[in-house]
Chain A
């Protein structure tokens, strides 16, 4: 064990979190094992698959390769934090409508990557969508419906 802990404070899905953590604590472990938000998935654990994607100050990052200490003073959004007023986020709704999930394990990562893409570029073309999700792996769908869902979400975006 480490000889000391690091104090961190951050916003998690809009709510303040304060913790003392060992410096080697990975953000994914903090989110899943300590804060019990298990929507963020552990896939490869080495940065290849994108299942663990969360938004750090709005930017999608791999939480399996991010030290939790790095979240200090910042805002973290997980899949649990994008619904508003009990309603699905438009990207989530589009995934449901288009049947863009099968086993569902990769879905939180895809949804968060898509949320960030559409915030930056509300009406991306197909090639831009494909590039944006190239760090998220899906072993079930073949991606067609995922791309379609993101296009659908962009159509309903303001």
Chain B
């Protein structure tokens, strides 16, 4: 498979990158690891005439205990977290992304901003053409939930739920300067599923910041997929808690791989703070998460199965977290 022609820009500083992004806003994509973008380009999915490569922009790289650069590779992050023995839920998630070969080039920023996926989107041009395309690329209708207003493709990153539950923030740079926002607010749940990020045209993810409190959390991430060695999540559950003995001081839970956005469930976990762990509370929480999520028929596993497994994975993720030291 060959790529169509594009112009490749290789800036060497953040300011140059932002200038290029401003010049080519709407006509460019950022290229980091390329492990998702280039397969999509090979399948002629939403091609742009300009690619702005980020591999020479040193301000975007690096990993330390409280800052993960956006272009840090997942392999780099995996090694760092293994050595630092920090953020066990994030370490679970990064190890579960694709394969070591993909993680050697795929980046943290790429995983957080990864394009949503769907049976009717991630297909060759020939295949999509035969069906008259879809809302997300070249067409005007959704084939999963037949209508013309909203895309239901699934958010398929693993790191977002794991970072959301430890209250990570993202640093974003653009023409109007640098700003920070909670990672959970990066995903615009009011969007139509295609416009789904709170990033202005030309804005760029610079880094993820971890608050010092994040290191006080026990955490875990569990992922459901077809082939354990490779696939995107059919469901991902992240959980983090700070406890005093059996008493829950703080509890966070997020899921990915089910809907257009990774989603945190504070409305279900906040009432448990101050309570003690019990089998009944965990069972009720699992049932409530399972009832709340709305997967659709656009990935390999049936939506009803994924919905039920959401509850099972909530229980298993909590169990894994509680049996971890630290």
Q: How far is the CA of A3 from the CA of B8 in the complex (A)?
A: 11
Q: Which residue of B lies closest to A59 (CB)?
A: B104
What chain A residues lie within 8 Å of B6 (beta carbons)?
2, 23-24
What chain B residues lie within 8 Å of A6 (beta carbons)?
8
Q: Tell yes or no: B85 within 8 A of A by CB.
A: no
Interface size class of B (residues with CB under 8 A): 20 to 34
Point out the residue from A22, A61, A70, A134 that lies within 8 Å of B104, measured CB to CB. Answer: A61
**Are A62 and B101 touching (Cβ within 8 A)?**
yes
Q: Tell me the residues in window 1-49 of chain B with beta carbons closer than 8 Å to chain A beta carbons.
A: 1-8, 10, 31, 34-35, 38-39, 42
**Are A2 and B7 touching (Cβ within 8 A)?**
yes
Q: How far is the CA of A107 from the CA of B176 in the complex (A)?
A: 51
Which stretch, A43-51, A87-95, A144-152, touches the partner chain B? A43-51
Q: Tell yes or no: A96 within 8 A of B by CB.
A: no
Q: Which residue of B lies closest to A133 (CB)?
A: B100
Q: Tell yes or no: B105 within 8 A of A by CB.
A: yes
- By secondary structure, the B interface counts as loop
Given contacts A61-B104, A135-B99, A135-B101, is CB(A1)–CB(B5) below 8 Å? yes
Q: Tell yes or no: B127 within 8 A of A by CB.
A: no
Interface size class of A (residues with CB under 8 A): 20 to 34
CB B225 to nearest CB in A, in angstroms, measures 13
Q: Tell yes or no: A75 within 8 A of B by CB.
A: no
Q: Tell me the residues in window 29-75 of chain B with beta carbons closer than 8 Å to chain A beta carbons.
A: 31, 34-35, 38-39, 42, 51, 53, 55, 75
CB B92 to nearest CB in A, in angstroms, measures 14
Chain B, 66-95, contact with A by CB distance < 8 Å: what is the 0/1 string? 000000000100000000000000000000
**Are B10 and A69 touching (Cβ within 8 A)?**
yes
**Are B39 and A46 touching (Cβ within 8 A)?**
yes
Given contacts A46-B39, A47-B35, A134-B100, is CB(A65)–CB(B5) below 8 Å? no
**Are A66 and B100 touching (Cβ within 8 A)?**
no
CB B33 to nearest CB in A, in angstroms, measures 8
Q: Tell me the residues in window 15-59 of chain A with beta carbons closer than 8 Å to chain B beta carbons.
A: 22-24, 26, 29, 45-48, 50, 53, 59
What chain B residues lie within 8 Å of A113 (beta carbons)?
100-101
Point out the residue from B2, B34, B35, B53 that lies within 8 Å of A29, measured CB to CB. Answer: B2
Q: Tell me the residues in window 112-137 of chain A with beta carbons closer than 8 Å to chain B beta carbons.
A: 113, 131-132, 134-136
**Are B5 and A24 touching (Cβ within 8 A)?**
yes
What chain B residues lie within 8 Å of A22 (beta carbons)?
5
Given contacts A29-B2, A46-B42, A59-B104, is CB(A65)–CB(B34) below 8 Å? yes
What chain B residues lie within 8 Å of A46 (beta carbons)?
1, 39, 42
What chain B residues lie within 8 Å of A98 (beta carbons)?
none
Given contacts A65-B35, A67-B34, is CB(A26)–CB(B101) below 8 Å? no
Q: How far is the CA of A1 from the CA of B3 in the complex (A)?
A: 10
What chain B residues lie within 8 Å of A65 (beta carbons)?
34-35, 38-39, 105
Q: Tell me the residues in window 83-132 of chain B with beta carbons closer than 8 Å to chain A beta carbons.
A: 98-102, 104-105
What chain A residues lie within 8 Å of B229 (beta carbons)?
134-135
**Are A50 and B101 touching (Cβ within 8 A)?**
yes
Q: How far is the CA of A59 from the CA of B103 in the complex (A)?
A: 11
**Are B100 and A67 touching (Cβ within 8 A)?**
no
Residue among A1, A47, A61, A135 having the largest count of chain B Cβ atoms under 10 Å? A47
Given contacts A46-B39, A65-B35, 8 further A-B contacts (CB under 8 A): A24-B6, A26-B2, A29-B2, A47-B38, A48-B230, A59-B104, A61-B101, A67-B8
Can you name 5 A-B pairs with beta carbons within 8 Å? A23-B7, A26-B3, A26-B38, A47-B101, A62-B105
Q: Which 5 A-B pairs have the closest CB atoms?
A: A135-B99, A23-B8, A135-B101, A24-B3, A134-B229
